[in-house]
Chain A
């Protein structure tokens, strides 16, 4: 099907020429896209002294791992990392469980008021969280509850995106599968737990990785809520250091922090990218 005649291709290109042209265009863009990350890694492995003279190399200058070691051992970075892992891990877990439950109910159980409630969930999807921040901040301040993990997690768990993705996915699971299990005498709860949940693993993986990335990279709420340095997440911690590096004196260390902050996500990305693409597709209302 790809073999179209020259007459039908745009600009009268032969398929081979067209493919070469497309490939080279894609490669140019790929190079541009990967460049900033390569540069970050290269600077992270360069010595700070060498970087004062030249910061423009795409390979490490005077290669060293001391920046990385410094980040992992020194300062509060390990603590921030731990905070991020705790907050992100629990947020993802709660989001998955709650979204799967609600998704099943919306997709499969008829109940009164669904036609009104579901659009409200969808609308919640698009509410910018800035619109909730000030009362949230004041409430947590009044309860003296800032600088806790709960404060960092709670506002995040109200996750309409998760409900939406799970509803879309579960609605697409063939009715017959569920009916077969009900005919066998399983209760609805059992059907949900041992039939629908296992079948939803692909969607839950997609939602999980999505939630993990978004929560890990969250900035504004942690910035507002966690004011003690010990409670910073890796994102706010990194931002707090950026200001201290007004000049390029410790550029290598700064980039090393960038590497440390993004490495866990980059690894996850490479493991789960199929699921991530799928999540993007479900989330946009596709299949």
Chain B
């Protein structure tokens, strides 16, 4: 009896610091955030905010700026997640095929991960310089020199599709990470499984399609969730590349401007909740799928 008490005492002592922090700083503040979003709180030290229900949520759905945000986020997410997955998988397969200097290639692709989005933005802002004529520079100049004039473009200043330009550095930064994920997955597939398929007369291509790809599904799923998590709240990269007075609006920037420039806390909190919901759309199915297999 005393022994079991002691055991519980220790587990409580070990877990409670993390749980308290998590409870307060994650779940508690999500609750507070939703609370604010249901009021008309505007301005600092405003104590007479009124409860107005879901009015903020409904208003935002009619807001043309929010429509642009959603469009931009979808364009960015699809491009970023799609290309990063493809590149990550492709590089992982190339590296996994018993290539010399494997460690070198892995480091080079992973390297951008250690660089912050701000530094990435500072560098890529100049690489993707939209200036034309005499002042052409960066990638556009490279395309010009190589005779690939059709590739020259306005990058983030491209009307409507500017987010595609923002996706380029994001892809650069996260492909190596995705590659490492896939590589771990590839290395986890027992050689016997491939061998068995070979014995059955499968071609290398067939082995990839029928044996390896299905076994990589869980890794791909994790990768999609991690990348979606980044893309749905992209912020730093846009600030660093395009500045904040821009046509390239996304929910995180809208939220930030409305909250910290205009002190419209209620609307900011509503935007934050929409971001949370969009991430949850990816995460909850993922957690259900993984939790089914996993036992603590």
Contacts and interface: CB of A to CB of B under 8 A. Distances in A.
Contact of B172 (A36, A134, A235): A36
A102 B29 contact: no
A137 to B, nearest CB: 8
Nearest to B180: A280
A239 interface: yes
Contacts of B205: 10
Interface in A157-186: 157-160, 163, 167, 171
B219 A122 contact: no
Interface residues of B, number: 110
Contacts of A19: 97, 99
Contact of A37 (B25, B30, B111, B286): B111
Interface string B272-291: 11011001101110110011
A266 B111 CA distance: 8
Contacts of B24: 158
B99 A132 contact: no
Secondary structure at the A interface, as helix, strand, loop or mixed, is: helix
Interface string B206-221: 0000000000001100
Interface in B41-75: 44-45
A135 interface: yes
Nearest to B91: A29
A122 B181 contact: no
B291 A239 contact: no
Contacts of B290: 285
Interface in A247-277: 248, 251, 254-255, 257-258, 261-262, 265-266, 268-270, 273, 276-277
Given A219-B235, A258-B122, A273-B106, 19 more contacts: A40-B123, A55-B138, A102-B14, A104-B14, A121-B18, A126-B279, A127-B276, A128-B229, A130-B252, A134-B36, A134-B268, A134-B272, A138-B36, A213-B113, A261-B116, A262-B115, A276-B110, A284-B226, A286-B184
5 nearest CB pairs, A to B: A217-B116, A135-B32, A132-B29, A281-B184, A158-B25
Interface of B: 7-8, 10-15, 17-19, 21-22, 24-27, 29-30, 32-33, 35-36, 44-45, 91, 94-95, 97-100, 104-127, 137-138, 141, 172, 176-177, 180-181, 184-185, 188, 191, 195, 198, 203-205, 218-219, 222-223, 225-226, 229, 232-233, 235-236, 239-240, 243, 252, 255-256, 259-260, 265, 268-269, 272-273, 275-276, 279-280, 282-284, 286-287, 290-291, 294, 296
